Structure 1
Amino acid sequence: MTQQKTLEICERIARLKQERDAVILAHYYVDPAVQAAADYVGDSFYLAKLAVSLPQQVIVLCGVEFMGESVKLLNPAKTVLLPEPLADCPMAHMVERATVEAARAEYGDDLAVACYVNSTVEIKSWSDVCVTSSNAVKIVSELPQRHVLFIPDRNLGRYVAEQVPGKHIILNKGYCPRHEDVSLDELLALKAEHPHAEVLAHPECTAAVLEQASYIGATSGIIARAEASEAEEFIVVTVRGVLHELERRCPGKRFFFTKTPPTCRDMDMVTLEKVAACLETGSGEVAVDAAAAPQAKLTLDRMLEYAAR
C-alpha cells in the first residue's frame, strides 16, 4: 500500500471514529499500520482492563476473536466490532469439557480452574477465574485452592507451576502453535551470532526454548524489559508483530528473531482497510452466547479483582 493510500485510509478512520463514537484498540501482534492507527495498543490484559473504563459506545478490537469476546463480556451494553471476524486463536479451542469435569470430580472444592484469557466464552464459563500471561503467576499463587487445573495452554501452565511450587498445577494439552513451533536450533544459532544479546521469551514457548531465555514474560513485559535494559541487542522469542512497539520505544536498540520468525496468520488478517470497513458498515459485531456469558464474565471480573490486589 502506498503512503498516500495509507494516509487516506487513516483520515477516513479518524472521521468514522468521530461519527460512530468509536475507539480503536489493537494488540501488539497486528500489522504495524493498524497499531499506528489505533488509539490504544497493548497485550490482552491491558486491552481487557482498559475497555472497562472507556467512554466510547463502539469499541473496535484489532485482534482475534477471543479478545473481542472478552471485551464484549466486560462491556455488554456497548458495540464491539472485529475488523476480521474470522481471525481466531487455535489454542482458544484446545480444551475438552471432560477434562474440566474429571478434575472437579477428583479434587472437589479444593480445585480452581484457571483459564487463560486465550479461550472461548464457553470454555471460560467452565472455569473459576481467567488469567493472562502477565498476571497468571500472581493470580494462581493467591487462589485459596491448592489444586489448579490450568487451561488451555500447557506451556504457560508449566511455567506457572515452576513459579508457584506450593500449588499442584494440572496441565491441559493445549498450546499456541506460533510459540510451540519456535525452533530451538534456530534460537541457538541466533545466540551464537549475537552472544551479547539478551533473550526475551514469552512463556507460551516450550521449556527447551525458555531455558535459553534471559527474561521470560508477557508481551508487555518483554517490551518493558527491552526498554529498561542497558543491553543494546535482543533476541525476541514471540510473535514478530511486537517489533513495531519495540522499535518505537527503544530507539537505537537492535532486535533479532529466529530464521523462521513466529508470525500469527490470524492477527495478520487484520488490516487498515478492514478497520475502516467495519467502522463504516458496522460489520463484525461481536455477540456472545447468552447462556455462557454470566459465568464467563465472572471469570474476567475475578481476574481484574485479583490483579488489582
Structure 2
Amino acid sequence: MASHMTDLLERTAPAYERVRRVIPAVEWPAFAEDVDAILALKRARNAVILAHNYQTPEIFNCVADIVGDSLALARQAMAVKADVIVLAGVHFMAETAKLLNPDKTVLIPDLAAGCSLADSITPADVDAMRARYPGVPVVTYVNTSAAVKARSDICCTSGNARAVVEALGAERVIMLPDEYLARNVAAETKVEIIPWRGHCEVHERFTPADIAEVREGHPGVVVLAHPECPPEVVAVADFSGSTAAMADYVADHQPSRVVLLTECAMSDNVAVLHPEVEFIRPCNLCPHMKRITLKAIRAALEENRHEVTIDPAVAAGARRAVERMLAI
C-alpha cells in the first residue's frame, strides 16, 4: 500500500506542483488517485476536459485541457480535435459544446449541475417578449438552455455583451435573462436595453455593504465585480468584468490586495498564477458548479455518462445564435 501511494504521488507530482500554493500537501493524496486515473482515461479515450473558471483547483489546474470563461470555452470548443469532450461546468455549457461539436461525444459529469439563470426563462417567455416588443432583436446570454438560444437572434457572454448589443445596430434590444447584466450593459451604451428578471444566485447576493466591510478591514484592497452583480455593487467596485477580464486585470495591474466578487473557486485559480497577490474574501459558492468533482469526471470517462444530446431542430437555431456571437 505504501509503495502504491509513493508511486502514485510521484506520477502526480507535476500536477500537484501547479496547485501546491492552494492545496496543502497533506490533502493531495485524497485527489491523487482520481487525477492519475483521469489522465490515463483521457489518453485511452482521446478525450479532452473543458473547465470553467469556477471549477476547483484540482480540476482546473490538474486535469483540464482547456480552461476559461464561457466565451473562451465556446471559442476553443470549436477547435477540439478529440473524440470525447467532458465539460467541467454546468449544463448549458455542455450544450454549447455539443452545439459546436455535433459529431463528438459530449459528457457532463453530473446532470444536476444546472444554473439559476438558465432556469429563470423558457422558450415561451422569449416568444412572449417578442410579441410584446415586435421587431426588437433578442440577445440571449449563454447562461440559457439550447431551447431558449434557439428562440433568440444572437447570444452573448458577460465578456462581450456590450459589443454584441452595439453590433446589432438597433436602437433597442431585448436582453435575456440576467437583469443585472442587462442593466450594467445599459449603463455603458446608448442602446436601450429591455431586460428580463433573471438573477444569478451567486452574484445577486453581493451588496455594497460587503464592499464597504472589505475596504474597512483591508485598506488599499482593489475590488473587482462580475457584471452579474447588482448595479449598485458594480458602481462602487474598482472594476467590473467577466471572469477572464478579472484574471487579466490581476495579471496586468498586480494589485497587492484584491477581492473578486464572484464564485469562490475563481480566486483560488487566479491565486495559483499570482502568489505575490493577497486574495481577500468574501466570495459565494455556486452549488451547481460544485457538483462537478474529480470522482464525477472519472466516472463520466469510465462509464460514458452523462451524454449530452440536443434535438436537431432546436440545435439548428441555437447553433446559429451562438455562431453569430462568435463571428463578432
Matched, 1:303 2:325: yes
Matched AA of 2:113: A
Instruction: Say if 2:92 and 2:146, in contact at 8 Å, map to a contact too.
Output: yes
1:27-66 to structure 2, matched below 5 A, reads 27-36=52-61, 37-66=63-92
Matched, 1:284 2:306: yes
Instruction: Say if 1:116 and 1:130, in contact at 8 Å, map to a contact too.
Output: yes
Instruction: Say if 2:264 and 2:285, in contact at 8 Å, map to a contact too.
Output: yes
Instruction: Say if 1:107 and 1:147, in contact at 8 Å, map to a contact too.
Output: no
1:192 to 216, 219, 223: 216
Report the CA distance between 1:10 and its aligned residue.
Answer: 1.3
1:24 to 37, 49, 64: 49
Residues 196-227 of structure 1: CA distance to partner in whole angstroms, max 9, x if unpaired?
11110000000121111111000010011011
Matched AA of 2:290: D
Report the CA distance between 1:96 and its aligned residue.
Answer: 4.5
Matched, 1:92 2:114: no
Matched, 1:142 2:167: yes
Instruction: Say if 1:223 and 1:245, in contact at 8 Å, map to a contact too.
Output: no
1:241 to 248, 265, 271: 265
Q: Counterparts of 2:56 and 2:267 in 1: how far apart (Å)? A: 10
Instruction: Say if 2:53 and 2:69, in contact at 8 Å, map to a contact too.
Output: yes
Matched AA of 2:266: V
Taking structure 2 as the reference length, the TM-score comes to 0.89
Matched AA of 2:164: I
Q: Counterparts of 1:217 and 1:242 in 2: how far apart (Å)? A: 13
What SS does the aligned partner of 1:170 have? strand
What SS does the aligned partner of 2:267 have? helix
Report the CA distance between 1:240 and its aligned residue.
Answer: 0.8
Report the CA distance between 1:177 and its aligned residue.
Answer: 1.0
Q: Counterparts of 1:253 and 1:236 in 2: how far apart (Å)? A: 12
Identical aligned residues as a percent? 36
Matched AA of 2:100: L
Q: Counterparts of 1:204 and 1:107 in 2: how far apart (Å)? A: 24
Q: Counterparts of 1:85 and 1:156 in 2: how far apart (Å)? A: 26
Report the CA distance between 1:97 and its aligned residue.
Answer: 4.3
Q: Name the count of aligned residue pairs.
A: 302
> Match for residue 67 of structure 1?
93
Unaligned runs of 5+ in 1: none
What SS does the aligned partner of 2:236 have? coil
Matched AA of 1:187: I
Matched, 1:3 2:28: yes
Instruction: Say if 2:85 and 2:105, in contact at 8 Å, map to a contact too.
Output: yes
Residues 42-88 of structure 1: CA distance to partner in whole angstroms, max 9, x if unpaired?
11110111011011010010000000001001110000011111110
Report the CA distance between 1:100 and its aligned residue.
Answer: 2.9
Unaligned runs of 5+ in 2: 1-25
Q: Counterparts of 1:48 and 1:97 in 2: how far apart (Å)? A: 22
Matched AA of 2:322: L
1:101 to 115, 127, 132: 127
Report the CA distance between 1:101 and its aligned residue.
Answer: 3.1
Q: 1:185 to 1:7 in 2, by over 3 A?
A: same
